[in-house]
Amino acid sequence: MLTASADLVFPRRCPVCDRPVRPFGALICDECSNKPVRTEDAAKYGVFCRKCGRPLKTPESVADGRCGSCRDQGHLFMRGTAVFMYAGMKDSLYRFKYEGRAEYADYYAGEMALKLTGYFRPDEAQLIVPVPLDKNRQKSRGYNQAGLLAGGICKRTGLPLGEHALERVRRTLPMKSVTAAERRDNLKNAFIAHSNDVKFKMIMLVDDIYTTGATMDACAMACLSAGAAGVSFITLAIGEDA
């Protein structure tokens, strides 16, 4: 985390507007702090998917208790949740991932820590595990955004961090250009979990975005194969129910 003196030399930027934060010393501008839409505030019916936690948008989803995506596709994780709706966060997440704005993690991890402790029972998060990046990608980017979020969550909650519990073992194709089915196929066996870290534990996966859950399922599969007792997740942002 940056100190006050580091802030003087490199003014901290706001995760929403990317300008130096006002007031000085805060993690987000006062006027920006209400801009990212929280999942609770987007819940038209006040109901959330019991698997992925996204606010349900249609009467069909409400009747079923699951979002459209979770009705189409079963999941290996138990349940999950997210802090913010993805719409409106695209620019911020792009800068966070690709333009070196690692400092955003301080604000984001704080929000995730609050959500995690309010949403899950303590026995659902025995090890906090970031979704890993491909090693080459991490090298060129310098950091893994999920790793920064997971580290920040552990700093705030005191929960143990399994930084290397999961590894990405196979280089995957860029996600944007493939269909959901191809994506799932592509991700299968992309991760391995280390049994020494995960065995008999309830794993809490951490990532920046949840879309279809393909990544979470691939990570859950690796953790369960290595002896984990169960897997849940928390992400910073989630897409809408469709």
Q: Which residues bind Zn ion (CB under 5 A)?
A: 14, 16-17, 29, 32, 49, 51-52, 67, 70
Tell the smallest beta-carbon distance from residue 180 to Zn ion (Å).
Answer: 14
Sign of CA dihedral 37, 107, 172, 232: negative
> Which one, 106 or 197, has the nearer CB to Zn ion?
106
> Which one, 191 or 233, has the nearer CB to Zn ion?
233
Please state the φ and ψ torsions of residue 187, each to the nearest 5 degrees. Answer: -85, -20
> Which one, 73 or 172, has the nearer CB to Zn ion?
73
> Which one, 29 or 202, has the nearer CB to Zn ion?
29
Tokens at 115, concatenated: 């959500």
> Which one, 81 or 126, has the nearer CB to Zn ion?
81
Tell the smallest beta-carbon distance from residue 135 to Zn ion (Å).
Answer: 31
> Which one, 29 or 116, has the nearer CB to Zn ion?
29
Tell the smallest beta-carbon distance from residue 232 to Zn ion (Å).
Answer: 13
Distance CA 237, CA 235 (A): 6
**Radius of gyration of the chain from Cα atoms?**
18
> Which one, 70 or 85, has the nearer CB to Zn ion?
70
Tell the smallest beta-carbon distance from residue 14 to Zn ion (Å).
Answer: 3
Tell the smallest beta-carbon distance from residue 70 to Zn ion (Å).
Answer: 3
